[in-house]
Structure 1
Amino acid sequence: MKARPVLLRWTRWAVGSAACLWLAGCAVPEWQKIGAPRAEVLQDMGRPTLTLALPGGAQRLLYSRQPAGQQVYHLDFDAQQRLTRVQQVLTMEQFFTLRNGVDTRDTVLQQFGPPALVEHVASFKGDIWTYRLLDNGASRQAHVHIDPQGVVRRVMFTDEVFNDSDRHH
């Protein structure tokens, strides 16, 4: 029956999403109100994955749902510690902004947070940081190749393949 794998995938997604919301205390970055005080957002969202200083005394809280999730959020605060912007940055467009030979491991970490997976292959000397993302509803992976000096050398994309053993029952 063809509907069964789709139903099973949807059920897994629904259960996973419910678990994610439960673990996060039902805090959703998109629901944060622009102008909210940083302390209020922290109370609602919990500890961020990374905290980054921005120019002019501003600050960015980065919340990553990697390795299981497919989102990374930037919550930007002005010098008065008020929320000015919420942006989901784990997109193909954001990965296209990485400049080969210019951007570094630190740039990638500050933009996307820790990767879902760090891999190595024989054909590239260095780390390959893999991020899970959604592209128009399709599960994809971005693979950022970082050489031993910490410089981005290439970004590649693949479809994410799920092991769906239920398909054969």
Structure 2
Amino acid sequence: MTLALRTAPAALLATALLAGCAGEPTRLAMGSSREQALRELGAPSAVYSLSGGGERLQYSRAPAGFEVNNVDLDASGHVVSVRQELDERLFDRTIQPRVGRWREADVLRTYGRPLEITQVSSFDGHIWTWRYKWQNTPRLLYIYFDPAGVVQRYHTGDDLMLELLAPL
């Protein structure tokens, strides 16, 4: 067997690993152009306009995944921020209940489409749910919207789905 044939599997593995790293939003260099970001990350799951003429490229792994990465571009189309939003340490600073300012559009722009939208008899409105991981433990984020679409509160809880699916 020639050296080229013996090293081909290793070269393919290295290429696959590098491609996987290139598609990770948190590895995107600050100052990259919009075109560079799209080339490295592919098409976003959503695009939102930001104040000041900027733009958000959202890369969501929902509904089955645990991450939503937002790549923010300034008005000139260069990366100024990359943040994984589904992080329990950020919820208190990001989610703005009871002030009447945070609406469905704000939540979508931050977290993307939810895993599910439900209702319960004890609350007049809808509850949106996202999956995330906290210290490698599957968790759920619940955001409560009143009938006018304004965030009223949020809470987190354990995601027991994987435990329910596991064999006994």
Deviation at 1:49, TM superposition (A): 2.0
- TM alignment of 1:1-169, pairs within 5 A: 26=20, 27-96=23-92, 97-101=94-98, 102=100, 103-161=102-160, 162=162, 163-166=164-167, 168=168
1:73-99 CA-to-partner distances (Å, cap 9, x unmatched) read 111112221212211111123322322
TM-score (normalizing by structure 2): 0.78
1:8-27 CA-to-partner distances (Å, cap 9, x unmatched) read xxxxxxxxxxxxxx9xx731
- The alignment partner of 1:84 has SS state of strand
Within 1, Cα distance between the matches of 2:114 and 2:38? 23
- Residue identity (%): 32
- The alignment partner of 1:92 has SS state of coil
Aligned residue identity for 1:37: S
Q: CA RMSD in A?
A: 1.7
Within 2, Cα distance between the matches of 1:146 and 1:155? 9
- The alignment partner of 1:131 has SS state of strand
Within 1, Cα distance between the matches of 2:76 and 2:106? 25
Aligned residue identity for 1:156: H
1:123-159 CA-to-partner distances (Å, cap 9, x unmatched) read 2121110011111222110110111110111101111
* 2:10 match: none
Within 2, Cα distance between the matches of 1:141 and 1:50? 21
